[in-house]
Amino acid sequence: MTAGQTHRVLVAIPMFESVLARLQAVFDLDAPCAADRHIDWTPQTLAERLQGCAGLLLAATPRVDAALLDACPELRAVCSMAVGYNNIDLDACTARGVLVTNAPDVLTETTADFGFALMMATARRISEAEHYLRAGRWTHWSYDFFAGADVHGTTLGVLGMGRIGQAIARRAALGFGMPVIYHNRSRLDPAVEQQLGARWVSKDDLLRQADHLVIVVPYSPASHHMVAAAELALMKPGATLTNIARGGVVDDAALAAALRQRTIAAAGLDVFEGEPAVHPELLGLPNVVLTPHIASASGPTRRAMADLAATNLIAALGLGPTPGRPLTPLNPQVLAAAGD
C-alpha cells in the first residue's frame, strides 16, 4: 500500500462521529450505518458494498469468509473493534495477504467488571428480584425471600484464563476472598498463578468443584459446545454459570434444560448461540440473567476500542504516524510478506 494514495474504506458498523471524522480525513470513507443505524448485512450486500474498498472496519459482526474475500479482491485490511474474531476467517485472510487486526487489552478491565457483576447478579438473583418488585408483587418479607448463593469465600472456576479471565480471577481473589481454579489449554506461568492465587485443574474438575463458573474462552471449532449436557451434569446443584465468551461455547438448549430441572442453580448470559436471537426457553426461565452482549460496553472503553480499530486501519493502509505498523495485528506475517 503506498502512502499518499486515497483508499476507499467501508465502516460496516455504527460508529462514533469523532472516529468517522478521523477516517474521513485520510480515506474515501463509506459509512452507511452513520452513528447509530444498524445494517443487517447479507454476504451479498456486504460484498457489493465492499467493491473497490481496501479496508473494512467491523466488530463481532459481520462475517468475513473466503467467499467474501474472493468477491472483494481489492480488500487489504480488516480491522475489528472487538477482541473476539471468530466472525473473521483468519486463515483465509492470511492466504490472500489481507491483514486482520482486533482490539485486545483496551477492554480487559471493563469486560472483567461486567463478568463479575453478571456472576454476582446471577448468584444473588438480582434480576429476578427486580422483576418481582416492578410487577408490584412485594407485599411481605420472609426469611428465604430471594435467598441466593454467596459469592465471597466460594470457589470461582474460570474456563479460559486469558487476559479477561485473569482480570476476573484478580477481582475474586483480592476482593472477595475466593479460591480460584481455572482450566486453560496452556497453564499460566507459576509466578502468575501464585499472584492470582489460581490453581489449574482439569476441565471436569473445574466443573465439579466450581461454585461459580465463568466462561471466557474464545470461540473456535475446538470450543464449540465445550459446555453441553455432559459437562453441565458434572456441576454442583447450587452452582452458577456465567458466559461472557461467545454463544456456541455453551449449548444453550442443554443449559436451558439444566436450569429448568434445577440441576444447576442459575446462569448469567451475555452471549447466545445465533444472537441476537435467544433460545426461547431461556427467555421464560426465572433463574437466568440475560444481557445483550454488552460486557465491554462502558462509554470510555467502547471509545478506546473504536479508536484502536481506526488507528489500526490507518496504519494498515500505509498512513498515519506508524504506516504499515498497526498496533494489534492478528496475522503479522502478512506485513512481513508485504515488506519483502
Query: In the complex with ligand GLV, which residue's Cβ is closer, 60 or 226?
Result: 60
Q: Is 82 in the site for ligand GLV (CB under 6 A)?
A: yes
Query: Can 134 be counted among the known catalytic residues?
Result: no
Q: Is 86 in the site for ligand GLV (CB under 6 A)?
A: no
Q: How far is the CB of 160 from ligand GLV (least distance, A)?
A: 12
Q: Is 168 in the site for ligand GLV (CB under 6 A)?
A: no
Q: Hey, which residues between 88 and 107 contact ligand GLV (CB under 6 A)?
A: 107
Stretch that binds ligand GLV, among 81-89, 125-133, 177-185, 260-268 (CB under 6 A): 81-89
Q: Active-site residue among 187, 275, 281, 303?
A: 275
Q: Is 248 in the site for ligand GLV (CB under 6 A)?
A: no
Query: Can 275 be counted among the known catalytic residues?
Result: yes
53 touches 75 (CB < 8 A): yes
Query: Can 293 be counted among the known catalytic residues?
Result: yes
Q: How far is the CB of 217 from ligand GLV (least distance, A)?
A: 12
Question: 56 - beta bridge partners?
Answer: 10, 78
Q: In the chain, what's the furthest Cα-to-Cα distance? A: 75
Q: How far is the CB of 82 from ligand GLV (least distance, A)?
A: 3
Q: Is 60 in the site for ligand GLV (CB under 6 A)?
A: yes
Q: How far is the CB of 60 from ligand GLV (least distance, A)?
A: 5
Question: Strand 156-159 vs strand 28-30: parallel, antiparallel, or unpaired?
Answer: unpaired
Give CA–CA dist 57/55, Å, rounded: 7
Query: In the complex with ligand GLV, which residue's Cβ is closer, 46 or 60?
Result: 60
Query: In the complex with ligand GLV, which residue's Cβ is closer, 164 or 241?
Result: 164
Residues in contact with ligand GLV, shown as a per-residue x/- string from 286 to 315 under the rule CB under 6 A:
----------x-------------------
Give CA–CA dist 200/158, Å, rounded: 10
Q: Active-site residue among 183, 246, 279, 302?
A: 246
What residue ranges bind ligand GLV (CB under 6 A)? 60, 82-84, 107, 296
Q: Which residues does the annotation mark as catalytic?
A: 246, 275, 293
